[in-house]
Structures are given as structure tokens and as C-alpha cells.
Structure 1
Amino acid sequence: MPAAIAPLRGALAADDDQQAVAKAVNGLRDAMLAGDGATLRAMTMDQLTYGHSNSRLEDKAAFVGSLDGKNAFKALDLSDHAIQVVGDIAVARHTFDSVNNLPDGKTNTAHIKVLQVWKKVDGAWKLLARQASPLPAA
């Protein structure tokens, strides 16, 4: 193979992985919005550590359990995406804006910055870690 083609193939593979991670990020968002526990379990690693903007940490069981079969979100939008892939690890950052359904029938909102760490396992990107931090109100 000519030397000039090898970097091009590496760049194309990185682009493919970035697109796959972007798809995984959006798939996780959709599963969270739908309260789809089966998809959340499938998309996350057993070692998941899920950090909220108030510093509360959840493991996989707590994260999935908090959303499984529940209508936790009225709306959930992600913006300002940035994804970096390094081998079988990807770092995804975005702004997370949500309208959250509360048990008393009221709602509240979140406007936070999120960092996610994804790992490629058997060809699929799975969430390993997530940490959120607060942003000023819009």
C-alpha cells in the first residue's frame, strides 16, 4: 500500500468512529427520554460511573433504575457536540438542556455541560463514564 494511503485510511476510520459515537450519544439520549431500560442497559458498561451536576454518583443499576419505565423527561436536547476518538476510547462533550418531570406533576429544567467517556466493545460503543457540571441559567 502506498504510504500516502495509510494516513487517509486512518482518517476515514476515525471519521467513521466519530459518527458511530455521535449516533451512540443520540441513542442514549433517546433511550433516556423514552425510559427504555433495556436499551440503557445494552448501551452502558457494567462498570458505569454516572456523575450528575450536583456531584451525585450512580452506578449502572442506579442509573438504569432511575429511568427504566419512567417518564423522567418532558424534553431533552443536546447541542455543542465535540467528539474525540483515541483508539477504542471516545470522549464526547455536549450541552444538555432538559425539562424534567417531577413526581408531584411539576417540572424543572437543567442546563448543564456533560462529558461522556465511551469504550468500543465488540464493535459497539458503550458508555463507561459520564460527568456533568452546572452552567449559568440561559
Structure 2
Amino acid sequence: GYPRLWVGPETASAAEVFAGALQYHGRAKIVGRPTFGKCSSQRDVGLSDGSVLRLTNRMVWLPGGESCADVGIQPDRVVGTAMLRDPSRLLAVSMALRHGRGAKVPPPRAEPDAPAALHQEMF
């Protein structure tokens, strides 16, 4: 099977281009929610009054020639926001994608600190 790359509304810029390139070339399945839609690069310019002007200095295009600006990367498999917050559900969906649609996906757990626990476990 293909690697799964999880994305969501917080996925932006270079991460979107990476996901889009993998998706375009068929090297990974994109799972999650649509991404932010910022396929560009900015540069901050300090002004004499102390304010900052943010200039877009590059637009990034995906391998197929399209831009993800304002539309984001659309996942191959869209999952609900609640599922993205529960590591056990993420694992279950990954397994279901890998082993077929008939695989059992457990119901969501009431675990509000799941992202923090996952972060601690990973780092």
C-alpha cells in the first residue's frame, strides 16, 4: 500500500506543495481535511514607521501546473475534524485504508488530551 499523509486546515505553504507533489505522482494517499491554500512565499519588509509590509514574492505551482492558492489540497479521503483529534481513530482509519474498507474502525473516545498525549509520545 501507499504511505498515508495526514493533512488539515493548518497544513500550509511548503507542506501543501509536498502533499500535492506526492498526490500528483501517486506516491502517497492524502487523508484528512482540505489544506489551507497558501502555495506562496512571502517576505517581510520593515518600513520606516516600524510597521511591516508582507510581500508575496513567489507563487508555487504543483507538478500538474495548477496552484493550490485559495483552494488547498483536496485529500483522497476526507475525514471528520473529530477524528483528526483522536490518535486511536487516526490509527484505525490508517489500518482501514491499508487493509480495505471492511476493516473495523472503533468509535471515538472521549479523550480531550489525546493530541497532547500523542505529542508527548512522539517527542
> Normalising TM by the smaller chain, what interval?
under 0.3
Normalising by structure 1, we get a TM-score of 0.22
Normalising by structure 2, we get a TM-score of 0.23
Tell me which protein shows more strand as a share of its residues.
1
